[in-house]
Copies of this chain bind each other. A is one copy, B any other.
Amino acid sequence: MTDARLTILDTDQTPLANQEVVLEQTQHKFLFGTAAFDLVPLTNGEYAGERKEQAEQRAEKLTALFNAATLPFYWARFEPRRGEPLTEQVKNAAAWCIGHGLVVKGHPLCWHTLTADWLLSMSNAEILKAQIARIERDVSDFRGLIQMWDVINEAVIMPIFDKYDNGITRLCKEMGRIHLIKAMFEAARAENPSAILLINDFDVSPAFDILVEGCLEAGIQIDCIGIQSHMHQGYWGVEETLRVLDQFARFNLPIHFTETTLVSGRLMPPEIVDLNDYQVQEWPTTPDGESRQAEETIQHYKTLFAHPLVEGITWWDLSDGGWLNAPAGLLRKDGSSKPAYDELLKLVKGKWWISPTKLSTDSNGQIRFTGFFGDYALVHAGLRKTFSVTRENAPAIEIYL
């Protein structure tokens, strides 16, 4: 939140004194995002009939609330057969997002889970080459569409992951985490120097903190620290959230909460260590669960939004029935909104948002208002001028009608 002062001038530099104008916000700078994997089939004509209608309704609710979307680049699914990546399909989804005002993030470029199984027949040198080539290709192919990447995912456990053999764990075990991360970041950076590159992890113990420190010591240019918060086993609460923020704030780097989950059904038992081990047929959303979810969601967003370094929160998933079949959505399976969706909308496009508002300029042609960083429009006598409010320009913005 910031205090902004606008000076409105006409084309010959005369202040527009004592006039009525309308101010409205058009975009948050803060990234309110969601996993949006569903947009790939939707934008590629893979849905028909009722399923298509439902997907379109979900997409409408997505754009009504969010200004950012995470699209899937899991290697195993993105390029199931070597040399046949789903580039065009994901490009269609990315372009749709851009057209709907959504900032797109690609997730992830390097991860041991869901990596290509055709790496398994390779030597580590070949795996490294293939992994780097994959990054170069995808970051280059999506330049302009995707300017934000989860470059590395879950590096803390990467070399010790023991659920199944995979090429990336092998490679990380040989190279060490930091050398591997460095190679991945350098490959991505070279293809798109202006992209925002993240290191992303679910580990919020000192291990991830220390890894970030080591990466920075090794000269890796991390643009943003990505923190997952899959709270299937219960909301962290404000205190733990602040502890996590405090742990990473010392790097003075932007922080994204990249994968935020709060379920609206029963909680996953606390003894589950790897969430993927919890496989259930049915995991219904419940009225009690939905009100708990709404309350905790609002608390979590308020806590994070208030922190000066947090620049984005991504919800995971938009609808029930996604990962783990969890009732983790803001929407039910039938597409209807849960209270968490409604409450979040009231914040993001209500309390934290400036809807069209009539204001009068003073004798110097100035108006003052308090709002959040983002894009705005000013309307006067049929003229509409857009401008951004940033940390830098907020105290003195000039608008020429």
Binds B, one of A189-197, A203-211, A320-328: A203-211
CB-based contact B156/A210 at 8 Å? yes
Q: Mark A45-78, 1 if CB is under 8 A from B, else 0.
A: 0000000000000000000000000000000000
State the CA gap A16–B304 with chains docked (Å). 82
User: Which residues of chain B are within 8 angstroms of A308 by Cβ–Cβ distance?
Assistant: none
A259: shortest Cβ distance to chain B, in Å?
20
Q: Are the C-beta atoms of A247 and B206 separated by less than 8 Å?
A: no
- Chain copies in the assembly? 2
Measured CA separation A210–B213 after assembly (Å): 10
Known A157-B206, A206-B156, A207-B205: A178·B214 in contact at CB below 8 Å: yes
Q: Is the CB of A247 within 8 A of B178?
A: no
Set B173, B205, B217, B250: member contacting A214, Cβ < 8 A: B217
A218 within 8 Å of B (CB atoms)? yes
- Which chain A residues numbered 164 to 213 have a C-beta less than 8 Å away from chain B? 173, 176-178, 205-207, 210-211, 213
**Is A160 interfacial (CB-CB < 8 Å)?**
yes
Chain B residues near A177 (CB, 8 Å)?
210, 213
Q: Which B residues are CB-close (under 8 A) to A206?
A: 156-157, 160, 207
Q: Which of A160, A205, A207, A217 has the most CB of B within 10 A?
A: A217
Chain B contacts for A173, CB-based, 8 A: 250
**Could you say which residues of chain B place their CB within 8 Å of the CB of A176?**
213, 250
Residues of B within 8 A of A217 (CB): 178, 214, 217-218
Nearest neighbor of A173 in chain B, beta-carbon distance: B250
Complex Cα gap A358–B160 (Å)? 50
Tell which of A173, A177, A178, A207 has the most Cβ of chain B within 10 Å: A207
Complex CA distance for A120 and B214, rounded to whole angstroms? 28
Q: Which residues of B contact A157 (CB under 8 A)?
A: 206
Q: Give A156's nearest chain B residue, CB to CB.
A: B206
- Nearest residue (CB) in B for A206 is B207
